[in-house]
A and B are shown apart, each in its own frame.
Chain A
Amino acid sequence: MTEPKALSTPLDQAASLRDNILITQVDKLIGWTRKNSVWPMTFGLACCAIEMMATGASSYDIDRFGSGPFRATPRQSDLMIVAGTVTNKMAPRVKRLYDQMPEPKYVLAMGACTVSGGPYIKYGYHVLKGVDRIVPVDVYVPGCPPRPEALLEGLFRIQEKVAKERILDRNRVGARPSLLVE
């Protein structure tokens, strides 16, 4: 039996450390973990929801990007994917769901209706002309409906945003008022 070789010289010691120690910033580490664990909320309002479901299913598999667990409650969600036409009747409910999500929270407006009112922009008396009129939107994904690839791209934009955040920048809290007067 041979003795393990002692790290004799400082150079050997440094070489060994290179394989065992990772230097990073806390911000980057936390950003990396958070961005790979974005939990969306389970709700769909119209046809875009079908594409959102396809994004979650095996062909596109949103789980690959750490965003799989669609939560059935706003209390456990980080991301609100507003998938589909928001009617004036639905708007107060959407806003309430947003208000019930814990900070930090993100909103992805999916589809033409949610971005701007879409085909209902002129004669749709019953449609909210863009969900950004009631909640602050982080990423807009246009399309009618957007394909799953587009929704994934939107998720990546959210992830970029999450990864860049610094933990000391918590002025997000309270700085994003919801805009609807009940």
Chain B
Amino acid sequence: MDRSTLFEKLRQKFGPRIIESDENGLVPSVRIEPATWPELAQSLRDDFRLDYLSCLTGIDRGKGQGLDAIYHVERMDAARLSISVRIRVPYENPVIPTVEHIWRTADWHEREAYDLLGFRFEGHHNLVRILCAEDWEGHPLRKDYKSPDTYHGVRNNVV
């Protein structure tokens, strides 16, 4: 299966639920609403055998424009098919359904995205911080993040 067939089938199945798509980019991509994600993820893995979630990253688009979660999914056999899925959520309520039961790697990836950008992955079995200390406050990669002046009684900022 090549790229155009993949997109054709996705359009047939999801229709207007695919908000944007770019078939010709370096990595072909689609943008969807969070509610579409569990079904699309299941379909990508089972119908198109995209069985490897190679990367889950996040972007803070700046105040008012929300957060983007970007999933890179691919298959590693000879077909070498890949796609990136972008999901935009509002700043105040960044809830995305989890896909850890579809791709096992999503478990830690989602914890990292939660830790650093504050996405909340609904249904994740253990959504706790993975990099920062357990009692850390805030999500450091958000653009409005201010690092604490003290941490456990030790000054944290230089100036």
Interface residues of chain A, those whose CB is within 8 Å of chain B, are 88-89, 91-92, 117, 121-122, 125-126, 128-129, 133-134, 179-182
Main secondary structure on B side of the interface with A: loop
Question: Does B140 interact with chain A (Cβ within 8 Å)?
Answer: yes
Which residue of chain B has its CB nearest to the CB of A179? B154
Size bin of chain B's contact surface: 10 to 19
Q: Which of B125-159 contact A (CB under 8 A)?
A: 131-133, 136, 140, 145, 147-148, 151-158
B152 touches A89 (CB 8 A): no
A88 touches B145 (CB 8 A): no
Nearest CB in chain B: distance from A118 CB, A? 11
B133 touches A89 (CB 8 A): yes
B156 touches A125 (CB 8 A): yes
Question: What are 26 sample pairs from A and B whose C-beta atoms fall under 8 A apart?
Answer: A88-B133, A88-B136, A88-B151, A88-B156, A89-B132, A91-B152, A91-B154, A117-B158, A121-B158, A122-B158, A125-B147, A126-B131, A126-B140, A128-B154, A128-B156, A129-B156, A129-B157, A133-B154, A133-B155, A134-B154, A179-B154, A180-B152, A180-B154, A181-B153, A181-B154, A182-B152
Within the assembled complex, what's the spacing in Å between the Cα atoms of A129 and B136?
A: 17
Within the assembled complex, what's the spacing in Å between the Cα atoms of A145 and B26?
A: 37
B152 touches A181 (CB 8 A): yes
Within the assembled complex, what's the spacing in Å between the Cα atoms of A112 and B99?
A: 41
Nearest CB in chain B: distance from A23 CB, A? 49
